[in-house]
Chain A
Amino acid sequence: MPKFVLLWTDAAIWLLVLALVAYVWLASRRTNLRGTWRKVFADPAAMASAVVLVACLVVTLVDSVHFRSKLPPAPGTTAGVVAYDTRTRSLLDAALASLAESRETTYSRPLAYESFTKETVEQGGRPSRVAPRLLHGGAHLTDPAAQWGGDIARLVAVGVAWGVLGAAVAFIAVAAGVARRQRSGLGTAAGTIWRGEIALPWRVALATAAVLALAIGIAASLARAYHVFGTDVTGNDVLYQTLKSIRTAFVIGSLATLATLPLAVVLGIMAGYFKGWVDEVIQYVYTVLSSIPNILLIAACVLMVQVFIDKHPELFETGLERADLKLFLLCAVLGLTGWAGLCRLLRAETLKLRELEYVQAAQAFGVGAGRVMTRHVFPNVAHLMLIVTVLDFSSLILYEAVLSYVGVGVDPSMNSFGGMINLARNEMSRDPLVWWPFTAAFVFMVTLVLAANLFADGVRDAFDPRSRTFRPRVLKPAAAAKP
């Protein structure tokens, strides 16, 4: 039995998932919330990006179960004493063990079978420059120059087959769900989805899922024998690094925004509700905070966190735990420094709400201030909280890259998009050009951020009463004419 390690960010991520489940349960029971969320998912872009985000969330969750595997008992140790690996690994690491361990010596191009850099070897008494074969990439080929193309084609075909299978399973699963709901046959439901005659854009979601399934299928199939995105300077697989970076991005995006909420909500509502000196003090505090350029404040705090970590080596056992503590504290710093904007919004909204009749009625009935704020004011500003949270998610992922570049981001030993871009900076000035780590980071990061942005737009359009526009639900006339 391996020893399970609960890292700080793991605990936070799983708590977050619990909270998400609780929210979904709550939202499904409240008619108004359910209606608004239906509106979010009725937006095709939001639906498609939700699929991408869920895929990233799955990667994050798999990467958030950490353990240290048991080492085989070494000779000479007493029985009963169990030694554990010094490396803390996650389920994702275990699943991708072949990728993580297939390390080359240095750069290699995507899908290459020989190294990117040439070496001088003795051939028939004369030194000659050749690119050596890779240890893992295409190692099974006996005559690579002739077999390579065919082998790649075969693996891609296998991957496509798996991808199609996955997409078909997804389609049937959704069709079955719709069929149960509509109390119709599976075939009818499948037809409705295929022709787009259904309120929610399932067709778009399934198309996105199909593209994802194909991409995953092809990548997984190729990754068994090659480095799909090549290897980096120390020979590590780039695909593995990008997959690991998803968790870092997700943790920063979600935890840092969540960390802003308690302060912003409590102080914002208090300032708006009590007015007077409470308002003055809170306004003063957040003006002080927001008057410091954000990146400097974060840099200052992170430098202090570094000193703190230096001083307390007892808080972590392995290198990963240290990096994780740093990431957790970085999220806390981002939370502590970033609450001013939301607080200002909530204060303004509360100032408006407290003058409304229903709040005054509650006050007239003698309801206490705390209860009015939690029961009457908070639910009516919650939509602002939600909108700002989802909007901040993507900007924080982008911000992480900048912070890592500045040197106050995540630990260099932890995979992150910022770290990859940082390295890419030197690689892009090499000759010949090393473009693949940069491209891989770009593709994954843009996909994630774009999905987050589109989803955030959908949430804002649905939840913000100001941007609520009349959108007639477009159903094809054929569907409308059916009895």
Chain B
Amino acid sequence: MINYIVRRSLYGVLILIGVNLATFFLFFTVNTPDDMARLNIGGKRVTPELIAKWKVERGYDKPLYWNEAKAGSDKLTDTIFWERSVSLFKLDFGRADSESAGDIGTEVARRMWVSIQLALPIFILQIISSVSFALLLVMFRHTALDLAGVVFCVVMLSISALFYIIVGQYLFSRVLRLVPISGYTGGLDLLRFLVLPVILSALSRLGTEARLYRAMFLEEIGKDYVRTARAKGLAETAVLFRHVLRNAMIPIITSAGGYLPYVFMGSLVFESFFGIPGLGAYVIEAITKQDFAVVRTMVFVGSLLYIASYILIDIAYTWVDPRVRLS
């Protein structure tokens, strides 16, 4: 198992190198720092001096890969590639591109906790609600209730998450005045701010996931061990909860695990709609301010989390299913 994790981690590093090269190519070779400066300064104010100043401030005036002017190892390290790409592996993200913003690393570390506060309840509620809804439908399979449930799911998944947010905010915050529309604070008061985004987020994905899980359960239910369980006289609920649910856990973990990176990254849309200063909102801010350094860093952080969560999923397999051996 240790062996397996080490091997997967090494492959993960290989992938991170690939991600890094790809983003570097995208951000510095397809377009030069001059273009970025022009877009960032914007409008008619662009002059060569301003561009040069912008580049010096952010360290983009250095050569891309090889600095002839320096001596020794500085030839390699005093370049954009080294400072902006290789140093990401040391989790040294450098400063943001826009005027006021500071160091990206401290910002990421601070915002990550905010994101987790929102995303972890979402993740848990999502799994519980969609699995139990799917189980309910499976319990009443091939009845009118099942059909109605599936139709409900299809309608739910045809509605954009943005509609849920806008209607939810309107209904619960403006009409019923149950919770504040948006915002963030410390302490216990935080609950009041988090409850609406958590519920709406779980609701917006309920249709997609419940339908998927229902299909998974139905596939399991046709198997021989279920018939055996029924033949030995188990009640239907016992069959469903003790046998089907446990066996369907593997595909469920795979599909739910895909959302694990977002537990740390935060949901872009929900954070920004509800004014929660997490990583997702950070990304949206960076995009509107056209802050390339932040977007670049978040790509790296995102894939780091993705790789980490896939290793976690593999470990979860062994825990759920004793037959799985990692080797």
Give me the interface of A with B, judged by CB distance under 8 Å.
284-285, 287-288, 290-293, 295-297, 299-301, 303-304, 306-308, 310-311, 394, 398, 401-402, 405-408, 417, 421, 424-425, 428-429, 433, 438, 442, 445-446, 449-450, 453-454, 457
- Min CB–CB distance B108 → chain A (angstroms): 13
In the complex, the chain A residue whose C-beta lies closest to that of B288 is A407
- Which of B58-66, B110-118, B225-233, B291-299 forms contacts with chain A? B291-299
- Of the candidates A285, A304, A446, the one whose C-beta lies within 8 Å of that of B31 is A304
- List of A residues within 8 angstroms of B157 by Cβ: 453
Beyond the given A300-B23, A407-B284, A428-B170, please list 13 additional residue pairs across the A-B interface where CB-CB is below 8 A.
A285-B18, A287-B15, A288-B303, A291-B307, A292-B302, A300-B27, A304-B27, A308-B31, A402-B161, A406-B283, A424-B166, A425-B162, A454-B154
- List of A residues within 8 angstroms of B18 by Cβ: 284-285, 288
Q: Given A291-B303, A405-B269, does the pair A425, B166 have CB atoms closer than 8 Å?
A: yes
- Which of B34-42, B72-80, B184-192, B314-322 forms contacts with chain A? B34-42
Instruction: Please measure, in the bound complex, the distance between the C-alpha atom of A128 and the C-alpha atom of B31, giving whole angstroms.
Output: 58
- Min CB–CB distance A453 → chain B (angstroms): 5
20 inter-chain pairs at a CB distance below 8 angstroms, sorted by A residue, are A284-B14, A288-B303, A292-B303, A293-B299, A295-B268, A296-B295, A296-B298, A296-B299, A299-B295, A300-B23, A300-B26, A303-B295, A406-B268, A421-B163, A425-B166, A425-B273, A429-B181, A438-B166, A449-B159, A453-B157
Instruction: Please measure, in the bound complex, the distance between the C-alpha atom of A421 and the C-alpha atom of B262, giving whole angstroms.
Output: 23
Q: Which of B216-272 contact A (CB under 8 A)?
A: 261-262, 265, 268-269, 272
- Of the candidates B39, B158, B261, the one whose C-beta lies within 8 Å of that of A449 is B158
A307 touches B19 (CB 8 A): no
Q: Given A292-B19, A310-B39, does the pair A401, B287 have CB atoms closer than 8 Å?
A: no
Instruction: Please measure, in the bound complex, the distance between the C-alpha atom of A417 and the C-alpha atom of B158, giving whole angstroms.
Output: 14
- List of A residues within 8 angstroms of B307 by Cβ: 291
- Min CB–CB distance A300 → chain B (angstroms): 5
Instruction: Please measure, in the bound complex, the distance between the C-alpha atom of A453 and the C-alpha atom of B155, giving whole angstroms.
Output: 9
6 smallest A-B Cβ distances: which pairs? A288-B18, A293-B302, A450-B158, A291-B303, A449-B158, A307-B31
- Of the candidates B19, B36, B161, B284, the one whose C-beta lies within 8 Å of that of A288 is B19
Instruction: Please measure, in the bound complex, the distance between the C-alpha atom of A300 and the C-alpha atom of B296, giving whole angstroms.
Output: 7
Instruction: Please measure, in the bound complex, the distance between the C-alpha atom of A310 and the C-alpha atom of B158, giving whole angstroms.
Output: 35
- List of A residues within 8 angstroms of B292 by Cβ: 303
Instruction: Please measure, in the bound complex, the distance between the C-alpha atom of A240 and the C-alpha atom of B35, giving whole angstroms.
Output: 37
In the complex, the chain A residue whose C-beta lies closest to that of B23 is A300
A401 touches B19 (CB 8 A): no
* Interface SS, A side: helix
- List of B residues within 8 angstroms of A425 by Cβ: 162, 166, 273
A291 touches B269 (CB 8 A): no
- Min CB–CB distance A461 → chain B (angstroms): 12
B163 touches A406 (CB 8 A): no
* Interface SS, B side: helix
In the complex, the chain A residue whose C-beta lies closest to that of B258 is A290
Give me the interface of B with A, judged by CB distance under 8 Å.
14-15, 18-19, 22-23, 26-27, 30-31, 35-36, 38-39, 154-155, 157-163, 166, 169-170, 174, 181, 261-262, 265, 268-269, 272-273, 283-284, 287-288, 290, 292, 295-296, 298-299, 302-303, 306-307
- List of A residues within 8 angstroms of B284 by Cβ: 406-407
A-B interface contact total, Cβ < 8 Å: 126
In the complex, the chain B residue whose C-beta lies closest to that of A467 is B215
- List of B residues within 8 angstroms of A424 by Cβ: 166
In the complex, the chain B residue whose C-beta lies closest to that of A435 is B170
Instruction: Please measure, in the bound complex, the distance between the C-alpha atom of A407 and the C-alpha atom of B295, giving whole angstroms.
Output: 13
Q: Given A288-B18, A296-B283, A406-B269, does the pair A421, B303 have CB atoms closer than 8 Å?
A: no
- Of the candidates B35, B288, B295, the one whose C-beta lies within 8 Å of that of A311 is B35
B166 touches A306 (CB 8 A): no
Instruction: Please measure, in the bound complex, the distance between the C-alpha atom of A291 and the C-alpha atom of B169, giving whole angstroms.
Output: 33
- List of B residues within 8 angstroms of A405 by Cβ: 162, 269, 272
- List of B residues within 8 angstroms of A453 by Cβ: 154, 157-158
Instruction: Please measure, in the bound complex, the distance between the C-alpha atom of A290 and the C-alpha atom of B309, giving whole angstroms.
Output: 13
- Min CB–CB distance A263 → chain B (angstroms): 15
- List of A residues within 8 angstroms of B262 by Cβ: 293
B30 touches A421 (CB 8 A): no
Q: Given A408-B287, A424-B166, A428-B170, does the pair A292, B299 have CB atoms closer than 8 Å?
A: yes
A288 touches B22 (CB 8 A): yes
B30 touches A310 (CB 8 A): no
In the complex, the chain B residue whose C-beta lies closest to that of A299 is B287
Query: Which interface residue of B161, B269, B287, B307 has the most chain A CB atoms within 10 A?
Result: B287
Q: Given A300-B296, A311-B31, does the pair A291, B306 have CB atoms closer than 8 Å?
A: yes
Instruction: Please measure, in the bound complex, the distance between the C-alpha atom of A223 and the C-alpha atom of B121, giving whole angstroms.
Output: 47
- List of B residues within 8 angstroms of A301 by Cβ: 26
In the complex, the chain A residue whose C-beta lies closest to that of B151 is A45
A450 touches B155 (CB 8 A): yes
Instruction: Please measure, in the bound complex, the distance between the C-alpha atom of A394 and the C-alpha atom of B155, giving whole angstroms.
Output: 12
Q: Given A303-B287, A304-B27, A407-B288, does the pair A394, B158 have CB atoms closer than 8 Å?
A: yes
B261 touches A293 (CB 8 A): yes
- List of B residues within 8 angstroms of A438 by Cβ: 166
Instruction: Please measure, in the bound complex, the distance between the C-alpha atom of A22 and the C-alpha atom of B18, giving whole angstroms.
Output: 40
Q: Given A291-B306, A300-B299, does the pair A450, B38 have CB atoms closer than 8 Å?
A: no
Instruction: Please measure, in the bound complex, the distance between the C-alpha atom of A438 and the C-alpha atom of B164, giving whole angstroms.
Output: 12
B166 touches A297 (CB 8 A): no
Instruction: Please measure, in the bound complex, the distance between the C-alpha atom of A296 and the C-alpha atom of B284, giving whole angstroms.
Output: 10
B154 touches A457 (CB 8 A): yes
- List of B residues within 8 angstroms of A284 by Cβ: 14-15, 18
In the complex, the chain A residue whose C-beta lies closest to that of B169 is A428
- List of A residues within 8 angstroms of B162 by Cβ: 401-402, 405, 421, 425
Query: Which interface residue of B155, B162, B302 has the most chain A CB atoms within 10 A?
Result: B162
- Min CB–CB distance A450 → chain B (angstroms): 4
- List of B residues within 8 angstroms of A303 by Cβ: 287, 290, 292, 295
In the complex, the chain B residue whose C-beta lies closest to that of A450 is B158
A307 touches B39 (CB 8 A): yes
A402 touches B302 (CB 8 A): no
In the complex, the chain A residue whose C-beta lies closest to that of B20 is A288
- List of A residues within 8 angstroms of B261 by Cβ: 293
- Min CB–CB distance B168 → chain A (angstroms): 11
Instruction: Please measure, in the bound complex, the distance between the C-alpha atom of A429 and the C-alpha atom of B182, giving whole angstroms.
Output: 12
- List of B residues within 8 angstroms of A307 by Cβ: 31, 35-36, 39
A304 touches B30 (CB 8 A): yes
Instruction: Please measure, in the bound complex, the distance between the C-alpha atom of A450 and the C-alpha atom of B288, giving whole angstroms.
Output: 31
In the complex, the chain A residue whose C-beta lies closest to that of B42 is A310
Instruction: Please measure, in the bound complex, the distance between the C-alpha atom of A299 and the C-alpha atom of B265, giving whole angstroms.
Output: 15
B35 touches A310 (CB 8 A): yes
Q: Given A284-B14, A307-B31, does the pair A450, B287 have CB atoms closer than 8 Å?
A: no
Instruction: Please measure, in the bound complex, the distance between the C-alpha atom of A457 and the C-alpha atom of B272, giving whole angstroms.
Output: 33
- Min CB–CB distance A189 → chain B (angstroms): 31
In the complex, the chain B residue whose C-beta lies closest to that of A398 is B160
- Min CB–CB distance A17 → chain B (angstroms): 25
Instruction: Please measure, in the bound complex, the distance between the C-alpha atom of A284 and the C-alpha atom of B292, giving whole angstroms.
Output: 26
- List of B residues within 8 angstroms of A421 by Cβ: 160, 162-163, 166
